[in-house]
Chain A
Amino acid sequence: MAKIRRNEKREMPALNTSSLPDIIFMLLFFFMSVTSMKEVSYKVQFKNPQATELTKLEKKSLVRYIYVGTPTAEFRKQYGAETRIQLDDAFAETKEIGEYIVNERSSMKESEQGLMTVSIKADKDTKMGIIADIKQELRRAYALKISYAATQRTSY
């Protein structure tokens, strides 16, 4: 006859976690392949405008970025809420763009200097005045290949 054992301690079998590292590694590789390193830490905040006729920026080493937007909350006290330009890791004036471009270009390989692209990452609510100033500076610095960073628009 079956004996009902009640008082006997029944231990839970240990969960086999030996495949957990593999799973996590898989996740890790997934994220490593679909994401890209942030170029800089943003000091300005911006929301990309939307467009449809987009092209991908091919070679990372040939691209330089100009960020345009309002300072993030931590910098607002110091710099106000006006639209500002960020080059690399610091706030900059429009006048400094030319020098920045020249410096960046001279640090590139000579064969690639003509292929430099400047990506303007500006907030969608930016006034065109500041963008036009940037464009004039870029023209003066002979950085003629530009790209207006935007996200794909799915519908009107």
Chain B
Amino acid sequence: MAKKIPQINASSMADISFLLLIFFLVTTSMDVNQGLARRLPAPIPPDQKVEDKDINKRNLLVVKINSANQLMVQGQLMDVKQLRERAKEFIKNEQNVDYYPKLVEEDFGAPFGVVKYTKDHVISVQNDVDTQYQAYLEVQNELVAAYNELREECAQKYFHKAYNELDEDQQKQIQKIYPQKISEAEPKNYGN
């Protein structure tokens, strides 16, 4: 006759798993690591003189944020919600007006062909020492959004696909047409 194996008492199993559950609830956090990815410019070597790069005035979009978180674009007070459209207009310069950046024709190869684009445009963001971080990030966010929207439009136009569905080479090509050029000056006291 087979020996009967006594049943293991599993009633404490629930307690053990409860303990584990509570441990994980305490030590982990729900938040996902998301963020606005940016790239800082490389540092200037100390022996190198800072050259005043001559940027044509029409190629420059100056965005200033003061200590009261007010936004000024090219000397005009503006709401942050309008910034995206303004930046897109500036980067594209579809009407080829003379106060927006100069259009340069360049051959980007298939499937683009010769494309007119604003090669030398620069968006300069200047903020005050007392500017609130949220306000600064909103401005950065809108500018990045402007670029993302333009790249998306470009992807739809030439590839009939969403930008993030394209392969790396295609994305790089589009990035060449819409290069992200956001320059940040060191903060100054603009006062208010």
Chain A interface residues toward B at CB < 8 A = 17-18, 20-21, 24-25, 27-28, 31-32, 34-38, 48-57, 60, 63, 117, 119-120, 122-129, 131-132, 135-136, 138-140, 142-152, 156
Contacts and interface: CB of A to CB of B under 8 A. Distances in A.
Contact of B40 (A50, A57, A139): A139
Given A21-B10, A28-B17, A35-B30, A140 B138 contact: no
B132 A127 contact: yes
B132 A140 contact: no
A147 B134 contact: no
B24 A35 contact: yes
A6 B191 CA distance: 89
B41 interface: yes
Contacts of A28: 17, 20-21, 24
B129 interface: yes
Interface of B: 10-11, 13-14, 16-18, 20-21, 24-25, 27-43, 81, 127-134, 136-138, 140-141, 144-145, 148, 184, 186-187
A147 B43 contact: no
A128 B131 contact: yes
A38 B144 CA distance: 29
Contacts of A142: 42-43
Contacts of A138: 40
A52 B133 contact: no
A49 B134 contact: yes
B35 A148 contact: yes
Contacts of B141: 51-53, 150
B29 A36 contact: yes
B13 A124 contact: no
B41 A127 contact: no
Contact of A25 (B17, B34, B40, B134): B17
B43 A148 contact: no
Given A55-B37, A60-B33, A128-B136, 14 more contacts: A20-B13, A51-B137, A56-B34, A63-B33, A123-B133, A124-B132, A125-B134, A128-B129, A146-B37, A146-B40, A148-B38, A149-B33, A150-B137, A151-B31
